[in-house]
Structure 1
Amino acid sequence: MIWLLRAMTELSSRKWISRMTGRFAQSGPSRHMIPRFAKLYGIAIDEAEKHPHEYRSLNEFFTRRLKPGMRTIDSGASSVASPVDAVITGIGEISSGTLLNVKGQDYTLEELLGGSPRGEVYKHGFYMVLYLSPTDYHRIHTPVTGHVVERKHWPGKVYPVNEFGLRHMKRVLSRNERLITYIRHKSGEAAVVKVGAMNVSSIQYVLPLREHVNKGDELAYFEFGSTVVLLLENRTFAPRPDLRLGSRVRMGESLGELIGQSQH
């Protein structure tokens, strides 16, 4: 049965299907689906910036902002804030350039970062895989204060990044479309790897692009859900000891602390 589901997923992961879904979600008629969509996924519509009937399309509702004060950005000078509302589906130290046992699969920095030489500074660092379900708020925020030193787009597939996709499809995090932001902070560098998924028409940066970013600033957003892989440079991060697989985090809450001082 798994082989059949895998084959069906391969067929449905074509970009043209994702584009069709995206075009409908951006159309005016799709706004009539908002109440049903919100009820189906248990979305907290009272947190949304606007009332559901004010959104012009399902996509506009999905990429909604929140009312002021709905999330608190951790104020600790050295804290790393969660960039998203999500469930942790992978967490741990990076072992010689490999993210070990993410739902039973290993990922190398080489493939995840598309062969970027920047991967060297993360070879013995720390990673978190943060999965956003349709229920979640889908804007991505900056986890640290610092300077954006590079942005990179890697085109790819649109496989699902849910439990089935991560466990049964071949290394979807490094095969799917990715938008990567590298940020230099006071202790080193962090990479925010935004991974596209099935039915995602695109990953969009929030404009205007800025070179200096503050912790909690809007960075980007998903048009129909996905995953963020957060990478922290070698010996620059101490995670919160209570975080583990399956932990739910909210945007802005502390994931741990920056340690050490940059040698760059």
Structure 2
Amino acid sequence: MKFRAPKTIFILPSTSCHLNSSLRNHNRSFASVFRRFQTSLQARASVGGGNGSSSQGDSYLVPGATVATLLMLGALHARRLYDDKKVEEARERGIEPEFKSDIKATFLRLIPLRLVSRCWGHITNVELPIWLRPYVHRAWARAFHSNLEEVALPLDEYASLREFFVRSLKDGCRPIDPDLQCLVSPVDGTVLRFGELKGAGAMIEQVKGFSYSVAALLGTGSLLPMMAAGDGNEEGSGQENSSADSGKRSWWKISLAYPKVLDPVSTCPVKGLFYCVIYLKPGDYHRIHSPVDWQVLVRRHFSGHLFPVNERAVRTIRNLYVENERVVLEGLWQEGFMAIAAIGATNIGSIEVFIEPELRTNKPKRRKSLHSDPPEERVYEPEGVGIMLKKGDEMAAFNMGSTVVLIFQAPVSNLHENVASRSEFKFSIKRGDRVRAGEALGRWK
């Protein structure tokens, strides 16, 4: 018996209608998706000039650029590590790295570092949630090796990163050397350079092979004690007169922001003029203290660039400290002239002066006017007396790390006196030493 399959299959009417409608809806949705995909391809092809292969290459453009950027940054970092290793090996053999300008210094001039620093200032001023503050401050301290055991307040009481940068310390963390015949460090940091200023022009060595003028750093209206080269053999009263005359100079007169260097042939520093350059790292304590008892007579603010001031920048950027924004405090102490220059740097455009809270640094300026405007200058009242500071008093603060240049007169030996009664200032530090505020930089008998 044979069975034949029916030629037609009868399906219930309701089922067949439902199936047909679902198939039509599915086909319609697939067609709409296909049309959208086709439209996107046509748009990408039109952007690529009608070439279909360009649309395919665009999908690899962003990942390729990212990989290339990462490889470039990695290569630059590896080169920096290699250069730093070579410098350290040379120093171990007693060879000092020399100044070597490169294209990076030119490239830095094209970057709006002042604007970047102001943006960083706004970011660090953002008030953090209370629960988040300890985590952020601990992460910063871990990254830059800050000592949290010295912090005066609990971490959740520092509302922003900026407040943590300029934090005060617990009482007794920075004892001040009580010796009346010593000069102490104004900051925590690393000693880069120090010595006595000799010869014509009063030049400070930035790095081997290049020096910058003290007069350019402090300004042409400075109290800096200089004398004619022909007076170098005068002793005693001659030096006292030159020191006294320097106090009568018109240091309130207008000076250029990019001052002319004094003629190195006709002038040279008086005997017993010393300097010390100290670099502060981002994790260091950022407040500046008075190194001695002295009278602050004048403040001078130079607008300038905000180049970085790390060791690599010192080796490659000419006149780094003279070109950067800085605040100079000048006055007198028991041994004569005293000046402290607080040098700004990238992300450290804000330098606070506690004895003048209204002073504002890194204000918006036209780029071309950075070195064309005279410095902002203020004579502290009463004139000739100024503001009295005791050794160890807080004077100013950096937002992050930077550099302090200390220039001062100190006692020197007098060959005409008895050997037993000689008084001579001697540094008690070495280059590369880590010093803390309040520790002695040098002493005299």
The Cα RMSD (Å) is 2.2
Specify which of 196, 200, 225 is matched with residue 401 of structure 2: 225
Q: Is 2:343 the partner of 1:195?
A: yes
**Which whole-Å CA distance do the structure 1 matches of 2:106 and 2:300 have between them?**
30
For residue 114 of structure 1, what is the aligned residue in structure 2?
A: 219
1:254 aligns with 2:430: no
> Within 5 A, what are the aligned runs for 1:172-183?
172-183=320-331
Name the residue aligned to 2:81.
none
1:14-163 map, 5 Å? 14-29=113-128, 31=133, 33-95=136-198, 96-104=200-208, 105-121=210-226, 123-124=269-270, 125-163=273-311
Aligned partners of 1:89 and 1:103 also within 8 Å: no
1:21 counterpart SS class: helix
- In structure 2, relative to structure 1, the CA distance for the partners of 1:12 and 1:65 (3 Å cut) is farther
8 Å CA contact 1:99, 1:127 repeated in 2: no
Segment of structure 1 superposing worse, 47-56 or 61-70: 47-56
Deviation track 1:114-137 (CA, whole Å, cap 9, x = no partner) reads: 222412359241110000001210
Deviation, structure 1 residue 258? 5.6
5+ residue gaps in structure 2?
A: 1-75, 77-100, 227-267, 358-385, 413-423
Q: Is the 8 A contact 1:109 1:123 kept in 2?
A: no
Whole-Å Cα distance in 1 between the matches of residues 394 and 116 of structure 2? 28
Which segments of structure 1 move beyond 4 Å, counting only runs of 4 or more?
Answer: 207-210, 234-237
Q: Residue 443 of structure 2 aligns to a residue in which SS?
A: strand
More helix by share: 2
Structure 1's 117 and 134: CA in aligned 2 closer, same or farther, altered over 3 A? closer
Counterpart of 2:224 in 1: which secondary structure?
helix
Report % sequence identity. Answer: 33
Higher-Rg member (1/2):
2
Find the residue that maps to 1:24 and give its secondary structure. Answer: helix
TM-superposed CA distance for 1:219, in Å, is 0.3
Report the CA distance between 1:75 and its aligned residue. Answer: 0.4
What is the CA deviation profile of residues 8-47 of structure 1, one whole-angstrom value per residue up to 9, with x for unaligned ones? 4334462111100111111114956322111101100110
Give the drift of 1:73: 0.3
**How far is the alpha carbon of 1:147 from its aligned partner?**
1.2
TM-score of the superposed pair, with normalisation by structure 1: 0.90
> How far 1:168 sits from its partner (Å)?
0.7
| 2:328–2:342 contact (8 Å) kept in structure 1 | yes
> Does the 8 Å CA contact 2:410/2:425 hold for their aligned counterparts?
no
- What corresponds to 2:25 in structure 1? none
Q: Which amino acid aligns with 1:224?
A: M
Contact 1:161 / 1:226 at 8 angstroms: preserved in 2? Answer: yes
TM-score by length of 2: 0.54
Q: Compared with structure 1, are the counterparts of its residues 208 and 17 closer, same or farther at alpha carbon in structure 2 (3 Å cutoff)?
A: closer
Q: Larger strand proportion, structure 1 or 2?
A: 1
**Aligned position for 1:262:** none
Shift of 1:109: 1.4
For CA contacts below 8 A with separation 6 or more, give which structure has more relative contact order. 1
Partners in 1 of 2:138 and 2:169 — Cα distance?
17
Q: CA deviation at 1:208?
A: 6.1
Q: Which letter maps to 2:158?
A: Y
Gap runs ≥5 in structure 1: 260-264
**Does 153-162 or 10-19 show the bigger shift?**
10-19
Encode CA deviations 1:106-163: one digit per residue, 9 max, x unaligned. 0101210122241235924111000000121000000010211111111111111110
Aligned partner of residue 119 in structure 1, secondary structure: coil
- Secondary structure of the residue that 2:156 maps to in structure 1? helix
